[in-house]
């Protein structure tokens, strides 16, 4: 009986046991190669009085590693200075510059593999704001107004053109509305506004334009009345004075209030210093990088400085 059970158990074990073999195959995976970042793009500058503000964009490729530093190179032809900005910010302010001096600027990025190539360079020149055009005069002829003026007083900033704005007085809102006309005139120092409406009041502003934009303006107002006795010619200057003479035989009259000259705020006279301005954090969609704006004074000898 015992012998028969053992034989039966052995036969069952021999037929029902299954051996399972599991094999694992390991495929090697190469680590991503890190290379220097690409060339920064969209380098732009905004020049002011004794300063230039520069912005740029991240390279199309960061080389597989977060950008940690920027090098900004400023070249005047006779000097070449490099500034190093730690972090991923894409804005820089250069202060203490010389008005009228041409500055050539370029930038490059650095990651854990090193610096990449420089961006294309740009040129920028700081200037003082232009003063207002002088001797603004207007003359009416029927429903046309002719304006003439002279260049601003020289302050070292070149005049590359003039801009005229025309506004009209809204009798319902009781304020001037506009500008309804904007004319970029090149270097012309006269302009005729035609087809004006009898009985309406107008305001004209004339700006000088420098390479860095519009400066101060001279302004004059006029009311064209439907009368039959006089024509008025007015001379206006940047000192807010006006004179007028009258002659007969015209059907319109123009009434001119004193000229108003608006000047930009007085520039800061404190000694520029090397300062750092931290802007709001800006999340980079690809690199999780932030934006920081730094303002430096180029009169301080360049040396590495870092913003955490």
pLDDT tens for each residue of the chain, 308 residues long: 555 545 554 554 554 444 455 555 655 656 678 999 999 999 999 999 999 999 999 999 999 999 999 999 999 988 899 999 999 899 999 999 999 999 999 999 999 999 999 999 999 999 999 999 999 999 988 889 999 999 999 999 999 999 999 999 999 999 999 999 999 999 999 999 999 999 899 999 999 999 999 999 999 998 887 764 444 444 444 433 333 333 333 333 344 454 555 555 444 443 343 333 333 433 344 444 445 556 666 555 554 444 43
How many whole angstroms separate alpha carbon 276 and alpha carbon 82? Answer: 17
Asked whether the CA dihedral 12, 15, 16, 21 is positive or negative, the reply is positive
| 144 and 111 in a common domain | no
| 148 and 218 in a common domain | yes
| 222 and 141 in a common domain | yes
Q: What is the pLDDT of residue 32?
A: 76
Please list the alpha-helical segments (H only) found in the chain: 2-16
| 204 and 169 in a common domain | yes
Residue where a domain terminates, one of 232, 251, 279: 232
Residue 192 belongs to a domain with what CATH number? Answer: 2.60.40.10
Cβ atoms of 279 and 257 within 8 Å: the answer is: no
Residue where a domain terminates, one of 232, 257, 273: 232
| 158 and 120 in a common domain | no
Whether the link from the prior residue into 183 is cis, omega within 30° of 0, is no
39 located within any domain: no
| 68 and 152 in a common domain | no
293 located within any domain: no
How many whole angstroms separate alpha carbon 215 and alpha carbon 152? Answer: 10
Residue 196 DSSP label? P
Would you tell me how many other CB atoms lie within 10 Å of the CB of residue 259?
Answer: 23
Percent of the chain that is helix, strand, coil (3-state, to 5): 5, 45, 50
14 located within any domain: no
| 160 and 107 in a common domain | no
182 located within any domain: yes
289 located within any domain: no
258 located within any domain: no
166 located within any domain: yes
Pair of tokens at residue 80: 């070449």
Cβ atoms of 100 and 49 within 8 Å: the answer is: no
| 157 and 114 in a common domain | no
Whether the model pTM is above 0.85: no
What Rg value do the Cα atoms of the chain yield, rounded? Answer: 36
Cβ atoms of 53 and 94 within 8 Å: the answer is: yes
Residue 270 DSSP label? S
| 83 and 164 in a common domain | no
Structural domain harbouring 175: 137-232
Pair of tokens at residue 23: 């094999």
Cβ atoms of 217 and 233 within 8 Å: the answer is: no
| 228 and 142 in a common domain | yes
Q: What is the pLDDT of residue 174?
A: 93
In degrees, rounded to 5, the angle at the alpha carbon of residue 204 between the alpha carbons of residues 198 and 205 is 175
Total domains present in the chain: 2
**On the CB side of 116, how many CA atoms lie within 13 Å of its CA?**
29
Q: What is the pLDDT of residue 222?
A: 87
113 located within any domain: yes
Number of alpha helices (DSSP H) and beta strands (DSSP E) in the chain:
1, 21
């Amino acid at each position: 009986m015992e012998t028969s059970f053992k034989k039966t158990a052995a036969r069952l074990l021999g037929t029902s046991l299954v051996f399972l073999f599991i094999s694992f195959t390991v495929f090697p995976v190469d680590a991503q190669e890190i290379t220097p970042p690409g060339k920064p793009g969209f380098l732009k500058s905004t020049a002011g009085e004794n300063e230039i503000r520069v912005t740029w964009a991240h390279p199309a490729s960061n080389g597989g590693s977060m950008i940690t530093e920027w090098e900004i190179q400023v070249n005047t032809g006779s000097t070449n200075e490099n500034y190093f900005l730690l972090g991923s910010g894409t804005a820089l302010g250069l202060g203490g510059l010389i008005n009228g001096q041409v500055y050539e600027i370029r930038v490059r990025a650095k990651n854990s593999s090193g610096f990449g190539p420089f961006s294309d360079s740009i040129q920028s020149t700081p200037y003082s704001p232009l003063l207002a055009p002088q001797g603004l005069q207007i003359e009416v002829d029927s429903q046309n107004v002719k304006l003439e003026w002279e260049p601003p007083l020289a302050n070292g900033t070149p005049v590359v053109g003039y801009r005229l704005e025309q506004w009209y007085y809204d009798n319902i809102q009781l304020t001037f509305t506009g500008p309804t006309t904007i004319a970029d005139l090149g270097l012309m120092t006269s302009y005729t506004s035609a087809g004006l409406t009898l009985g309406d009041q107008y305001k004209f502003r004339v700006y000088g334009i420098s390479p860095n934009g519009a400066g101060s303006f001279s302004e004059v107002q006029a009311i064209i009345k439907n009368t039959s006795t006089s024509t008025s010619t007015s001379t206006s200057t940047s000192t807010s004075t006006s004179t007028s003479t009258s002659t007969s035989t015209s059907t319109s009259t123009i009434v001119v209030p004193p000229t108003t000259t608006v000047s930009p705020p007085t520039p800061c006279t404190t000694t520029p210093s090397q300062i750092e301005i931290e802007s709001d954090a800006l999340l980079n969609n690809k690199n999780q990088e932030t934006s920081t704006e730094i303002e430096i004074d180029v009169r301080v000898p360049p040396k590495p400085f870092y913003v955490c």
